[in-house]
Amino acid sequence: MFLAKVIGHVVSTKKDPAMRGQRLLILRPQVASADSPDELRDGSSTVIAVDRLGAGVGEMVLFCSGSSARQAEGMKPLPVDAAVIGIVDTVDVLGQQVYKDKP
């Protein structure tokens, strides 16, 4: 599993029939800061992931990738490589809160 920030969404009208009705999000994986390991910062890559939980732009999510993505509920028949599996409330690193969802 990985942490990522939702930075956008993808709309695709022409796609594999199995993907009809699937919501696609653009995720920016989060990494520990080299200067301060108790802080998160944006990574340099992006990931497109299927989202069945309803995450929104700016939220922090948990996602899995590779064959693990198809282990999430209802994903087995889909041609996906990444899936959102949780919306994050808080992240604590070394006893310090580094992320808290807006109320």
The contacts of residue 16 (CB under 8 Å, 6+ apart) are 79
| Amino acid in position 90 | T
pLDDT for 48-103, tens place per residue? Answer: 999 999 999 999 999 999 888 887 777 788 889 999 999 999 999 888 888 999 87
**Model-level pTM?**
0.89
Domain boundaries, the chain: 2-100
Q: Please state, as a whole number, how many other Cβ atoms lie within 10 Å of the Cβ of residue 31.
A: 15
Q: How confident is the model at residue 39 (pLDDT cuts 50, 70, 90)?
A: confident
Domain 2-100: give its CATH superfamily.
EutN/Ccml (2.40.50.220)
